[in-house]
Structure 1
Amino acid sequence: MEKQKWQPLPRQGVRARIGICSDLHVCEAYPSREKLGAVFSAFYQLAPQLDAAAFVGDLTDCGNAQQYAALRRFTAEYTAGHRGTTGAPTQILYCMGNHDTFEPGVHRAQAVFAAQTGQNPCELTWVNLVPVIKLAPGPNAEDDYTGCYSFLKRSLYAAASKVPGLPIFVLAHHGIRGTAYATDEWYGNYGEGTEHDLVRLLQQYPQVIHVSGHSHAVLEDERSIDQSLGFTAIQDSTAGAYFENETGKQDPETGEPATVPPFGQEACQALLADVLASGKVVVHRLNLTAGRFCAAPWEIDIPALLQAKKAGQPLCFPYTPGRTGTAPVFLPDARARLQFERADTAAVQFPRAWPADTGACSRVQAYRIQLLREDGGEPVCRWIFSDIYRREQREDWCVRVKTAVPFQGTWRVQVCAATAFGQLSEPLCSPAVDAVL
């Protein structure tokens, strides 16, 4: 990876600065040393006095001793000589993920994790008096957190009692179903609706910031933060593997169904969380491949939430599914083109769309491609991911559309650009084309 340059962030008024990422998947199959180097390079350029770096699971690709040894070696190399604001070395916080259970097995994984990292898989720790609770799956299933129920209950109470005006970070590899982007499909068992319902515990503390990995979804998607359950849930993408988003899209080159977007192997993203002296939290999203922030930082007003709760007033959570953006636009001279390559394959060409404004919710997340029969027959609809996560977005697209049966008759294409929240552009339309080869 090309080394990127970052400007230091102001430190005044910041109680604790914590770098967070997940899904390192340290192994020989991935450029683990290179990507972890990019993570720490960005962390220390932005925060020369980084207080802590937290890794939210899937530290390794299968949990063997060689991969853990490489992780320790890389981490020691990149943190050597660095210290936080207290003068102590940067704290390293490791969480366990499902991949870390693969070789030792889920029943032994927590013990192996503890032996290899020197840390407890479940623990309450502190970063400049900011509480951080780590959760680990197991021992019955690689995605099951119900065994953490009593520990979480005690830890939340202890954290809120000791520092009642500060956020409580809860780090767990799997997301909570139906919260941050991609957790509809990638999530853990938090005992919802049972006597060991961890979500119900979290809902008692609006100052909770739950950070998960597992999904590998792009941080440029504004749905990566969600507060719909009464606390904050964030998915942190992947630092060491590949992007993977939601189902329902296709690969633009092959026409086959795909959850991995184009150039997904370039993935290397992370968070930098600032806890201010006031208790407010500012979360910066880092695209380490592109060398830029993914968008404007998220701001979580913990004091306002706690004050409203104390006063019995409604809590204001701005990051919910009800957010909207402005529909994207194509340039005035943009045109779509339809061409049939084979009896069952069409090629659709169109230029990129653009956000209508600078709001993060208005960015182009996907394109909808509809092939319409002139005689009113059944249309063909496909979706592709945009490439907003790349350093340079492509100016022109060529998307292959495959069907199970040959195209017959006369067709035209309509292309719409979509935001993450469903706002659609006006369609680009092609001239009618006969499906004759």
Structure 2
Amino acid sequence: MRRTPFVITAASLALLLPAAAHATAPTAGAAAHPAQPTAAHATPAPPTLSSAGGRYERPVSLTLRAARGTTIRYTLDGTTPTRADRVFVPGRPLRLTKDTNVTAVAFRGGRASIPVSAGYLVKSREKPLARLVVMSDVHIGGHEKNDKKYESFFDTIGSVFPEPDAILSNGDMINDNGDGRGGDHRIVSEIFRANLKRKGMDDTQVLLSNGNHDASLADIRANYPRAWFPDSGGGYYESNVRGLHLFTVNTETYQSDAAQRAWLKKRLAELTADPAKARTPILVQGHRPAPGTAMDGQQASNPQLTKDLAAHPQVIYFSGHSHLNINDERSVHQRDFTAVNDGSMSYVEMDHGYQAITETGLADRFEAPTAQALFVEVYRDRTEIARVNMAADKHDIYTGGKWSADWQPPYASAGTLSGPAWTVRLKGNSPQQIKDSFTYTDARRNTTAPRFTARHPLALTGGGRALRVRQARDDQMVHHYRVDVENTATGTKLLSSKVLSEYYFMPRPNSLDIPLPAMEKGARYVARVRAVDAQGNASRETTLRFAG
């Protein structure tokens, strides 16, 4: 992880709710005890869903319910429903046959409820060889801010895997910055053990890797059960999870640790030499990304690790450290092996060079208070990697100018999906044949551009102080918008920015209100906007002309 993270304040609930859900202040001269609004004029309660989100081994028949006199509208693509979206018809349940996010809103007159969302992983009755949860960067520093949070997180884990075979915590369990906080590992151990007991995960293995904020290896050994970190002195070790080989590497020393490199290369060569195991995945976890792999290797290190794994396409390498989000399709990468970014359990980041809309306007912001993890199912012929939000409600990571990543449950977005599952298949009889069959390569990256579907995607709002962009649609996701606003007479740029689309929140907002600088009265302006996906595919330009 790049930064020392935490100055903590409580989250502002106002940031979590749409404007329609906020109470309206009484006008001047109103009675001291005004009458309560009638049901016809009150904000509706959100709909309820007949089946909770989670993992199912059959299609899900889902009924949506709301108060009499309301209309329920829903989406299945992670967006917030509007009055233009599909109406749920009572007596006609939704039939979910594949992984889906369902979001519903109750409408009554001109008012709308807050949205309710749930994620459904729809599987067959086929039993995987092993089920693992992969997380990283939990950054726990005390019980006060983390006990309730991790109760929620483990509830989400249990809704997908009631008893996972293993939980991997891939480095940076604590917030040590060379300031002697190694004892905080005991707090992590206490929180994890309490939740494992509470959820009945009695046989779940916990396997830890060393990260740059984890103080010393001695502190890790001293504060966790030995089975959680069974290294022999160098912070690396081999485990067996239901017959699968799992290697934990110490990326803090890998580049210079000749013994560690020799150990990993020897064991990988031994395992892949057996023709009967040529198509069996080998799992590797290490805190830091390998260069030139997932998310373009941002914050990567250890080029020797990339080199040492390159001969073994059976490897699936999980890494954290960067906090880069797992919504982005660049979080999986294949060339010589499969590299997967496992996100962050404390807050996520986006790649740099963009701006975000914040409570104080546009800011060079690349963090969001979203927690995510991977849910991995290994089958005989494939490995399925589901991307799940622990918490992704809309919220600014700074509240009142202070860092506020440690916001507390309940999380309306818990258990929603941050993208379709990735499927890794090992096809072929030789390493090169396996590599040739890879899906998530640079050459096979998505080339479909986003498109605006609204008739008028741009408008002024807030008395002309903001440019409203109705979000474009993409077959994967819109990453950001290129926004240029200029004076048509002088060519002077009023605004030139790449604005993040808020794809990392669930549900995603339908429109973005981008603040505009002060304009010259009477001057003529033109706004030009393109929607861009994570691969750089750009939509056609849409424009709006207006006067200052």
Q: TM-score, normalised by structure 2?
A: 0.65
RMSD: 3.1
Corresponding residue of 1:352 = 470
Contact persistence 1:57–1:97 (CA under 8 A): yes
Contact persistence 1:349–1:399 (CA under 8 A): yes
| Unmatched tracts of structure 2, length 5 or more | 1-10, 17-51, 58-123, 392-412
1:268 aligned residue (371, 386, 397): 371
2:431 corresponds to 1:309: yes
Amino acid aligned to 1:6: G
Q: What secondary structure is seen at the aligned counterpart in 2 of 1:204?
A: coil
Alignment of 1:38-437 (within 5 A): 38-62=152-176, 64-80=181-197, 89-101=203-215, 109-117=216-224, 118=226, 119=229, 120=231, 121-139=235-253, 145-147=255-257, 148-161=260-273, 163-181=277-295, 183-184=297-298, 186-188=299-301, 190=302, 192=303, 197-227=304-334, 229-239=335-345, 241-253=346-358, 254-260=361-367, 264-265=368-369, 267-278=370-381, 280-289=382-391, 290=413, 291-302=415-426, 304=427, 306-309=428-431, 315-322=436-443, 323-324=445-446, 325-337=448-460, 347-356=465-474, 359=475, 361=476, 363-375=477-489, 377=491, 379=493, 380-400=495-515, 410-434=524-548
Amino acid aligned to 1:251: A
**1:19, distance to aligned residue in structure 2 (A):** 0.6
1:16 aligned residue (130, 140, 145): 130
Contact persistence 1:351–1:397 (CA under 8 A): yes
**1:167, distance to aligned residue in structure 2 (A):** 0.7
C-alpha distance after superposition, 1:198-248 (max 9, x if no partner): 212101000111111112122111111111x31111111111x21211111
Q: What secondary structure is seen at the aligned counterpart in 1 of 2:131?
A: strand
Q: What secondary structure is seen at the aligned counterpart in 1 of 2:506?
A: coil
| Unmatched tracts of structure 1, length 5 or more | 102-108, 342-346
* Greater strand share, structure number: 2
Contact persistence 2:140–2:146 (CA under 8 A): yes
Corresponding residue of 1:104 = none
C-alpha distance after superposition, 1:66-97 (max 9, x if no partner): 4211111111111127678xxx7100011111
Change (3 A) 1:230 1:335: same
**1:338, distance to aligned residue in structure 2 (A):** 8.3
Q: What secondary structure is seen at the aligned counterpart in 1 of 2:268?
A: helix
Distance 2:353 2:460 in 1: 23
Q: What secondary structure is seen at the aligned counterpart in 2 of 1:37?
A: helix
**1:320, distance to aligned residue in structure 2 (A):** 2.4
Q: What secondary structure is seen at the aligned counterpart in 2 of 1:417?
A: strand
Q: What secondary structure is seen at the aligned counterpart in 2 of 1:328?
A: coil
Q: What secondary structure is seen at the aligned counterpart in 1 of 2:349?
A: coil
Contact persistence 1:336–1:429 (CA under 8 A): no
**1:307, distance to aligned residue in structure 2 (A):** 2.2
Change (3 A) 1:339 1:5: closer
Distance 1:59 1:217 in 2: 17
Contact persistence 1:14–1:277 (CA under 8 A): yes
Aligned length: 392
Q: What secondary structure is seen at the aligned counterpart in 1 of 2:442?
A: coil
Amino acid aligned to 1:388: Y
Change (3 A) 1:134 1:401: farther
Change (3 A) 1:313 1:114: closer
Q: What secondary structure is seen at the aligned counterpart in 2 of 1:287?
A: strand
Change (3 A) 1:168 1:64: same
Q: What secondary structure is seen at the aligned counterpart in 1 of 2:458?
A: coil
C-alpha distance after superposition, 1:332-366 (max 9, x if no partner): 1322338999xxxxx4422331324xx3x3x1111
Q: What secondary structure is seen at the aligned counterpart in 2 of 1:247?
A: coil
Q: What secondary structure is seen at the aligned counterpart in 2 of 1:391?
A: coil
C-alpha distance after superposition, 1:170-200 (max 9, x if no partner): 111111223212633x212x1x3xxxx2212
Amino acid aligned to 1:286: V
Q: TM-score, normalised by structure 1?
A: 0.80
Q: What secondary structure is seen at the aligned counterpart in 1 of 2:154?
A: helix
Contact persistence 1:55–1:94 (CA under 8 A): yes
In our comparison, the structure showing a higher alpha carbon Rg is 2
C-alpha distance after superposition, 1:237-288 (max 9, x if no partner): 111x21211111123233332222xxx12x111001111023x111011012
Corresponding residue of 1:105 = none
**1:321, distance to aligned residue in structure 2 (A):** 3.2
1:6 aligned residue (34, 54, 62): 54
Distance 2:158 2:501 in 1: 30
Distance 1:167 1:407 in 2: 64
Change (3 A) 1:199 1:365: same
Percent of pairs identical after alignment? Answer: 21
Contact persistence 2:313–2:434 (CA under 8 A): no
Amino acid aligned to 1:352: R
C-alpha distance after superposition, 1:89-145 (max 9, x if no partner): 1000111111113xxxxxxx1222222233122011110111111111335xxxx64
